[in-house]
Amino acid sequence: MARVLSALGNFVTGFLAAFVVVSIIKDRKSGVRAGLVWGLVSAIASWVFGGMFSPSEDLGAPPEGRTFDEPETTD
């Protein structure tokens, strides 16, 4: 769920930033187009990088049936 909220937040932020800047430079219609494109790029980047850097469920866990305190044995 955090990934979805992050992507949504980045879309809104990217949209608003591009919309304001391009609307000042050109016109409102161009601002909306630029906002949609930049918001979409921001959301996709957030989604992709959020998945790449999120902690994996099995990283750092000891093998099944063992704890970190037990020495590793070779049977």
- Whether the pLDDT of residue 32 is over 90: the answer is yes
The pLDDT value recorded for residue 51 is 74
DSSP string covering 2-50: HHHHHHHHHHHHHHHHHHHHHHHHS-HHHHHHHHHHHHHHHHHHHHHHH
User: Taking Cα atoms as reference points, which of 29, 34, 5, 30 lies closest to residue 17?
Assistant: 34
pLDDT band at 33 (very low <50, low <70, confident <90, very high): very high
pTM attached to this predicted model:
0.66
